[in-house]
Amino acid sequence: MTTTLTGASIIAGEAVEGINGTTRAIDPSTNTPLEPEYSKLDSTQAQQATAAAAAAFRDYRATTPQARAAFLDAIAATIEGRREQIVERAMAETGLPSARLTGEVGRTVGQLRLFAGVVREGNFHGARIDPALPDRSPGPRLDIRQRRVPLGPVLVFGASNFPLAFSVAGGDTAAALAAGCPVVVKAHNAHPGTGELVGQAITEAAAESGMPAGVFSLVYGSGAEIGQQLASDPVISAIGFTGSRSGGLALADTAASREVPIPMYAEMSSINPVILLDGALSSEGVGAQGLAEQFVGSLTGSSGQLCTAPGLVFVPEGEDGDAFVTAVESGLEGRPGQTMLTPGIADAFAQGVSAVEDQQAVATVARGVAGEGENAPAPVVFSADLAELRSNSVLSDEVFGSASVIIRYSDIGSLSEALDELEGQLTVTVHAVDADTPAAEALLPTLEDLAGRILFNGWPTGVEVGHAMVHGGPFPATTAPATTSVGSLAIERFLRPVAYQAVPAVLMPEPLQDANPWSLVRQNDGVIAKGQ
């Protein structure tokens, strides 16, 4: 089934033509604009989306687990049914290859289905029951029960680098809908057509599933104007954002300075340190050569435009480290760049690379070649020593794209100190064999304080969507280190606990009823028990 792109916003199921100018996608491989034109909403039009979300909130949050899960499944099925059209449009808008985007469709629908399962399972209600103790001394205890309720309408800003999995029906949208929150998505202007296709799929799924129309809206407009307006709107109760540090911080300021401040979940900036330990480099297994090949693959995949791309690699001084550097050099030689997402991102990459290159104590290890077409700059790897990293903040600024800095270190003590000085990260990676265990053990507390995900003997790119995943981390990786934007724990972003004290049985919400009609795992007087 193929649908037609209209170039309009979708507010509570209706197409709305904006009256505030237009915008178009650009094919970054050719710098040519794509049809159709997307009309941008003015502030009065955009406000209709939040009003519709507010109007839908209480009906939506009252939906049964079955109905809400079916809605999420219906979104997944509708997107899946249009995979080819979505992939084709996303290729034109982002320059990303077909295989990557096909995989991203799979991830997006898998994510929606994961949250459907979370809704059916119901652990997220966080049900707790402290039974009455009428005979307790010195005073009786009343019956007190706790569950989590949804916060209210959520505003989502998607990312340019994941036009599906972190965009209109991405992780924040799936988690918020699962929690019982209506969603207003500010469409990303770099992939408006992909966004509309997915927005249409959600809209159709909502109608089919009997959801209130205001449960979802997709709004086209200027981020600085309409985005900020939506973030300030009194009915919005939380914001999910994936993107640049400057964009995230501007929205975080808005969220904090509202009359009623709201949680702002921004995933922003990370350089994802990778630590190669001696044993791993000299191992007869993967070794220096294999690690270098893996590194180049991880760095250049998706043109390095991944939040978890390895921007900093710590390599020990000595022969094995030298062998790694040499292998990176030959691995990158002649390697062509791939099209980046937008001309603006390609420009920012060029500037970031220049800034690093301009540092006196930085050497260029290797550089590939520009790829075919526009906006396909050469991947590049620099090197510097630990002292330079510690004294020069340019080396720890994120350069979004295929650029990385190799840092040579002499001993675990000074490596550990340097890691303690880094800003918060989404990930930190260690390559280690058995012989490296003492070093890895010494580093572990540092790694835990540094990042949201610690991984061994792999590469940080590629984020599994599951129950145990954390895609988050200390500032500036995110503005909210206690949460994750990927995986089932993300639903907690959009919930808050409410206690029910001596509430009559007839009024008690299902998750807290004595009969436990939803068969939830609940905490009874501090003890977790299933189906009681």
Site for a second copy in 492-531 (CB under 8 A): 492, 495-504, 506-507, 521, 523, 525-528, 530
- Selected from 7, 13, 65, 152, the binder of a second copy by CB under 8 A is 152
Tokens of 94: 């982002």
Answer for the pair 93, 25: CB distance below 8 angstroms, yes or no: yes
**Helix 171-179 / helix 65-81 crossing angle, nearest 10 deg:** 160
> How near is the Cβ of 359 to a second copy at its closest, in Å?
22
- Strands across the sheet with 216-219, in order? 14-16, 9-11, 216-219, 183-186, 154-157, 238-242, 264-267
Q: Specify whether the backbone of 91 is left (phi greater than 0), alpha (psi in -120 to 50) or beta.
A: alpha
Answer for the pair 324, 290: CB distance below 8 angstroms, yes or no: no
Q: Are strands 495-501 and 144-150 parallel, antiparallel or unpaired?
A: antiparallel
> How near is the Cβ of 371 to a second copy at its closest, in Å?
26
Task: Please choose, out of 30-38, 220-228, 379-387, 478-486, the segment that lies near a second copy by the rule CB under 8 A.
Answer: 478-486
Q: Backbone phi, then psi, for 484, in 5-degree steps?
A: -130, 150
Q: Which is nearer to a second copy, 177 or 323 (CB)?
A: 177
Answer for the pair 500, 145: CB distance below 8 angstroms, yes or no: yes
Coil/strand/helix, residue 103: helix
E-state strands within 263-410: 264-267, 273-276, 312-316, 363-367, 380-385, 403-409
Q: Which is nearer to a second copy, 18 or 473 (CB)?
A: 473
Beta-carbon contacts of 221 under 8 Å, excluding residues fewer than 6 positions away, are 9, 18, 20, 40, 41, 42, 46, 186, 227
Q: Scanning residues 1 to 40, which ones bind a second copy (CB under 8 A)?
A: none
Binding of a second copy by 444 (CB under 8 A): yes
> How near is the Cβ of 104 to a second copy at its closest, in Å?
13
Which residue in the block uniquely carries the two structure tokens 């799924």? 205
Q: Which is nearer to a second copy, 36 or 103 (CB)?
A: 103
> How near is the Cβ of 250 to a second copy at its closest, in Å?
13
- Selected from 334, 482, 514, 519, the binder of a second copy by CB under 8 A is 482
Q: Which is nearer to a second copy, 361 or 499 (CB)?
A: 499
Answer for the pair 237, 151: CB distance below 8 angstroms, yes or no: yes
Q: Scanning residues 48 to 107, which ones bind a second copy (CB under 8 A)?
A: 58, 61-62, 103, 106
Tokens of 178: 């699962």
Binding of a second copy by 437 (CB under 8 A): yes
> How near is the Cβ of 18 to a second copy at its closest, in Å?
31
> How near is the Cβ of 353 to a second copy at its closest, in Å?
26
CA-wise closest residue to 179 among 205, 151, 199, 158:
151
- Selected from 375, 453, 461, 485, the binder of a second copy by CB under 8 A is 453
Alpha-helix residue ranges (DSSP H) falling in 315-376:
319-332, 343-357
Q: Which is nearer to a second copy, 343 or 509 (CB)?
A: 509
Q: Are strands 128-130 and 144-150 parallel, antiparallel or unpaired?
A: antiparallel
Task: Please name every residue paired with 312 in a beta bridge, in sequence order, or none if there are none.
Answer: 273, 405
Q: x/- string (CB under 8 A) for a second copy, residues 109-148? A: --------xx--x-x----xxx-------x--xx-xxx--
Q: Which is nearer to a second copy, 123 or 289 (CB)?
A: 123
| 417 sits in which H/E element | helix 412-421
> How near is the Cβ of 373 to a second copy at its closest, in Å?
28
Q: Which is nearer to a second copy, 207 or 505 (CB)?
A: 505
- Selected from 17, 84, 448, 514, the binder of a second copy by CB under 8 A is 448
- Selected from 8, 151, 165, 386, the binder of a second copy by CB under 8 A is 151
- Selected from 3, 232, 359, 457, the binder of a second copy by CB under 8 A is 457
Task: Please choose, out of 158-166, 209-217, 316-324, 434-442, the segment that lies near a second copy by the rule CB under 8 A.
Answer: 434-442
Give the catalytic positions in this structure. Answer: 267, 307
How many residues sit in the footprint of a second copy (CB under 8 A)?
A: 81
Q: Scanning residues 180 to 239, which ones bind a second copy (CB under 8 A)?
A: none
Coil/strand/helix, residue 39: strand
Burial class of residue 35 (count of CB atoms within 10 Å of its CB; 0-12, 13-18, 19+): exposed
Answer for the pair 1, 81: CB distance below 8 angstroms, yes or no: yes
> How near is the Cβ of 427 to a second copy at its closest, in Å?
9
Q: Which is nearer to a second copy, 138 or 517 (CB)?
A: 138
